[in-house]
């Protein structure tokens, strides 16, 4: 029964890890959409240049991002926390699997 308990614990951790990874992807996507500072998410630079058809469109898009920066900071901290949680859960899954095997 200890083996079964560990299997159940591993499957719960894997499910939680999967859910957190999806949340990280959503948060990263929303952060990119809100055009977070390129220093934080380099991908944003590429998405800004491809979505704007003219230099003036790019400037308008970029200047609009500063108004929402405070909210973007929260998104980034959520992403970082979620990633840390994924790392912790991954380590826990590996530890439990090592105990079993």
Query: Across all residues in the chain, what is the average pLDDT?
Result: 67
Task: Name the one residue in this structure whose structure tokens are 């380590």.
Answer: 91
**What is the pLDDT confidence band of residue 50, given thresholds at 50, 70 and 90?**
very low
94: exposed, middle or buried (Cβ count in 10 Å: 0-12, 13-18, 19+):
exposed
Nearby residues of 43 by Cβ (< 8 Å), 6 or more positions away: 32
Q: Which domain holds residue 60?
A: 2-100
As for how many domains the chain has, the answer is: 1
Range of lowest pLDDT (2-11, 25-34, 60-69, 77-86): 60-69
Predicted local confidence at residue 6, as pLDDT: 76
**What is the pLDDT confidence band of residue 62, given thresholds at 50, 70 and 90?**
very low
- Model-wide pTM > 0.75: no
């Amino acid at each position: 029964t200890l083996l079964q308990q560990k299997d159940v614990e591993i499957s719960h951790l894997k499910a939680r890890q999967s859910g957190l990874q999806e949340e990280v992807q959503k948060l990263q996507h929303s952060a990119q959409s809100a055009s977070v500072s390129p220093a934080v998410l380099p991908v944003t630079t590429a998405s800004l240049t491809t979505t704007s058809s003219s230099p003036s469109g790019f400037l308008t898009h970029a200047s609009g991002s500063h108004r929402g920066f405070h909210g973007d900071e929260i998104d980034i901290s959520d992403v970082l926390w979620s990633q840390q949680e994924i790392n912790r859960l991954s380590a826990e899954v590996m530890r439990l699997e090592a105990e079993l095997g």
